[in-house]
């Protein structure tokens, strides 16, 4: 009898754990665009509209603007309404004569010398800035909302406008 109870409890716990998201439950994906064009390299945050009902989730867009919603705590994406923020940062300005990009690892020796010379001469350092409208970068001002249903949504649309 004791063994039968243990088997029943084990099966119940296994089913409960499986239903909590070990796999694709509530998997949500989508596309982020700016004036209809895909936004590559954007960072997205999804904040539950109702505090305590869900976890903060993130996403990063690929070259086609496609992203997956991922919980920050390793849990599942909780169904509900979320406020979405979207940012895309790039380095602006230049040090010396070297135009800056997010990755200067491939610069030539001449570029590196100009960059270092610019730093020695007291030229201002590069500045990281958001290239998307500021409105979308703050949860307090972002008008972007999505509702993720039970079972997820594989066609979320985050549509940004320049003005």
**What is the pLDDT, as a whole number, of residue 102?**
45
Domain boundaries, the chain: 25-88+136-160, 89-130
Residue with tokens 């610019």: 118
Question: Among residues 84, 79, 64, which one has the least CA distance to residue 28?
Answer: 79
Express each pLDDT in 38-86 by its tens digit. 999 999 999 999 988 888 999 999 999 999 999 888 778 889 999 999 9
Residues contacting 103, CB < 8 A, separation 6+: none
pTM of the predicted model over 0.85: no
Ranges 21-25, 59-63, 108-112, most confident = 59-63
CA distance 31 to 155: 7
CATH number at 25-88+136-160: 2.60.40.10
SS3 75: coil
Question: Among residues 26, 61, 30, which one has the least CA distance to residue 154?
Answer: 30
């Amino acid at each position: 009898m004791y063994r039968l109870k243990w088997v029943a409890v084990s099966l119940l716990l296994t089913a409960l754990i499986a239903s909590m998201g070990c796999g694709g439950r509530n998997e949500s994906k989508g596309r982020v665009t700016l004036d209809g064009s895909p936004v590559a390299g954007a960072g997205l945050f999804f904040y539950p509209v109702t505090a305590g009902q869900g976890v903060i989730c993130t996403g990063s867009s690929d070259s086609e603007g496609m992203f997956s919603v991922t919980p920050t705590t390793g849990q599942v994406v909780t169904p509900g309404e979320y406020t979405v923020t979207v940012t895309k940062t790039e380095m602006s300005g230049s040090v010396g004569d070297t135009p800056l990009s997010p990755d200067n690892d491939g610069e030539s020796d001449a570029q590196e010398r100009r960059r270092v010379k610019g730093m020695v001469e007291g030229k201002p350092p590069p500045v990281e800035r958001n290239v998307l409208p500021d409105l979308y970068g703050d949860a307090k001002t972002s008008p972007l909302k999505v509702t993720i249903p039970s079972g997820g949504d594989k066609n979320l649309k985050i549509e940004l406008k320049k003005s």
